[in-house]
Amino acid sequence: MAHVENALAAPAVLQEVKPTSLPRPALVGHHRSFSWISDKICGIVEGETPAWWWWCFTIACLIACFTVGGITYVVATGVGVWGHRTPVNWSWPIVNFVFWIGIGHAGTLISAILCLLRQKWRTSINRSAEAMTIFAVVCAGIFPVFHVGRVWYAWFLFPLPNYNYIWPQFRSPLEWDVFAVSTYGTVSVLFWYVGMIPDLALLRDRFARAGRLMRARIYGLFALGWRGSARAWSNYEMAYLILAGIATPLVLSVHTIVSFDFAVSLIPGWHTTIFPPYFVAGAIFSGFGMVLTLMLPLRAIYHLEDLITQYHIDCMCKITLATGTMVGYAYAMEFFIAWYSANPYEGFTFINRAFGPYAWAYWIMISCNVVTPQFFWFKAVRQNTTLVWILSLFVNLGMWFERFVIICTSLTRDFLPSSWGYLSPTVVDIFTFFGTFGVFSVLFLLFIRFLPLMAMAEIKGVTPQADPHEGPGHGHPAAAPHA
């Protein structure tokens, strides 16, 4: 924003060289007007609840019952009903925790990192991706909280005075994790809410105009009296930029700290410096997999093709490809370091991963995480939304197996062969994890029903007609007529 008046005066040399304008794909198809965008997104909230929504909601609630039932059983009986036994003393719960936290990372990446990089295509997907982040953190949080065993003591994790007069032990990466994840959850909610205020204000006024005063009051309460003032926008944009600026190191730190849970230990296969960047790349990879899994059906159901265009899908596929390839590189590099370090334990761990009793899981991981994204090199694949959706499911599956492989192969084969074992989950493990997809879906369905699922103000801001300097030499020569 600064020095914009100076920037408006194009350098004289541009008149002589007449640069070719870069072909930029339209971010909103068919030159849709501002009011079309408002009607489209608000219409979803204002309209009748569709029948498919009730069906999905009912099914999601039923699936969520598996988590409720599993957790109730665990609390009533004890964590022994889960399948972990010595030497694997944390298994599915930590796998599920890392899996869900990783999913959340794409939301913050889209809303924060792509905001700093001025990737305007983020505007169509950031709201729902941030919602996905929050709901994924909720699902992730269930596992460590109940894994402590006596869940009513979970508050001991926080530095609160208790009757034992003992404080948390801050040398433990698990304690760092408590702070990382709770900060991540809180900042994600704040970021999501702040981004939503202008859209809630629009909904408030639309409901008021339609005479639905109860709804107008509820949305109005959360819109905090927003009225689109340019003075307020100036502060708002600054605050949003700062939030993006702090959420970026936050998202990188969260999965770094999650990886410290492993990397700070001395277990072969965990004790590596590659873990933080490798976990972050994997998290973004899995998160984009989930964004594609969620957004493609939404796009089809609500006919959002003009807002989530082929260009958006292309961009998401390319990020999935890039991060998937990084993850593949990390897998290869782990093997290389295991050999290069000449450490027999490290070498054994990796040979055991690929050819030991968990080889099946390892090769599922490799085929889903390294091979699947390579299809996104091809334009024909990226343009086939059904195929993209199916591939995104494989990405989700593969990333769950990645965490499973890391945790179980290392723990079942530690230094003493006498303590070797094989982990088999119990039905409680499986049901509890299965149910979290229901919990996630319930929350996501409520979100798309009651909140604006796209950031309308931000989408309007990136359309050519929002540019006051439209015309030759000022950015968008093909500005659409304002409808």
Partner 1 sequence: MAATPYGLIATFETPAEIYAAAKQVRDAGYQHWDCITPCPIHGLDQAMGLQRSIVPRFSLTGGITGFCTGMSMIFYMNGFDYQLTVGGKPFFSPLFAFPVSYELTILFTAFATIGGMFFVNGLGKLYHPVLKYEHIVRGLDDRFFVVIEARDPRFHAGHTRALLERAGGREITELED
Find the binding residues for partner 1 in span 243-272 (CB under 8 A).
Answer: 243, 246-247, 249-250, 253, 257, 260
Q: Which range touches partner 1 (CB under 8 A), out of 59-67, 69-77, 241-249, 377-385?
A: 241-249
Counted residue by residue, the chain has a size of 483
State the sign of the Cα–Cα–Cα–Cα dihedral 349, 355, 356, 361: positive
Per DSSP, 29 falls in state G
Show the tokens assigned to 276. Answer: 């933080």
Residues of span 109-168 touching partner 1 by CB under 8 A: 159, 165-168
Q: Which range touches partner 1 (CB under 8 A), out of 54-62, 217-225, 267-275, 413-421?
A: 217-225
Is residue 276 close enough to count as binding partner 1 by CB under 8 A? Answer: no
Is residue 35 close enough to count as binding partner 1 by CB under 8 A? Answer: yes
Is residue 176 close enough to count as binding partner 1 by CB under 8 A? Answer: yes
Are 136 and 106 in contact, with CB atoms under 8 Å apart? no
Is residue 213 close enough to count as binding partner 1 by CB under 8 A? Answer: no
For the CB of residue 458, give the shortest distance to partner 1 in the complex, in Å: 7
Q: Which range touches partner 1 (CB under 8 A), out of 182-190, 345-353, 363-371, 441-449?
A: 182-190
- CA dist., res. 138 & res. 141, Å (int): 5
Is residue 209 close enough to count as binding partner 1 by CB under 8 A? Answer: yes
Binding mask 427-466 for partner 1 (x = CB under 8 A): -----------------------------xxx-xx---xx
- CA dist., res. 400 & res. 98, Å (int): 8
Is residue 175 close enough to count as binding partner 1 by CB under 8 A? Answer: yes
CA dist list (Å): 436 to 64, 76, 101, 446: 6, 19, 13, 15
For the CB of residue 227, give the shortest distance to partner 1 in the complex, in Å: 5
Q: How many CA atoms lie within 13 A of 319 on its CB side?
A: 27
Is residue 221 close enough to count as binding partner 1 by CB under 8 A? Answer: yes
By CB under 8 A, name the one of 14, 116, 194, 371 that touches partner 1.
194
* C-beta of 18 vs 227, nearer to partner 1: 227
* C-beta of 210 vs 371, nearer to partner 1: 210
- CA dist., res. 114 & res. 287, Å (int): 14
User: What does the DSSP assignment read for 158-179?
Assistant: S----TT-----TTSHHHHHHH
Binding footprint of partner 1, residue count (CB under 8 A): 77
* C-beta of 75 vs 189, nearer to partner 1: 189
For the CB of residue 378, give the shortest distance to partner 1 in the complex, in Å: 36
By CB under 8 A, name the one of 13, 22, 230, 380 that touches partner 1.
230
Is residue 477 close enough to count as binding partner 1 by CB under 8 A? Answer: no
By CB under 8 A, name the one of 25, 43, 50, 225 that touches partner 1.
225
- CA dist., res. 95 & res. 89, Å (int): 12
- Chain CA centroid to CA 138, Å: 12
For the CB of residue 335, give the shortest distance to partner 1 in the complex, in Å: 29
Is residue 233 close enough to count as binding partner 1 by CB under 8 A? Answer: yes
* C-beta of 180 vs 368, nearer to partner 1: 180
User: What does the DSSP assignment read for 56-124?
Assistant: HHHHHHHHHHHHHHHHHHHHHH-GGGSS--TT--S-HHHHHHHHHHHHHHHHHIIIIIHHHTT-GGGGG
Q: Which range touches partner 1 (CB under 8 A), out of 68-76, 132-140, 230-238, 285-293?
A: 230-238
- CA dist., res. 335 & res. 344, Å (int): 12
Closest CA to 136 of 159, 102, 89, 94: 102
By CB under 8 A, name the one of 38, 309, 352, 409 that touches partner 1.
38
- CA dist., res. 216 & res. 202, Å (int): 10
- CA dist., res. 177 & res. 167, Å (int): 16
By CB under 8 A, name the one of 26, 34, 145, 154 that touches partner 1.
34
Closest CA to 99 of 50, 157, 142, 46: 142
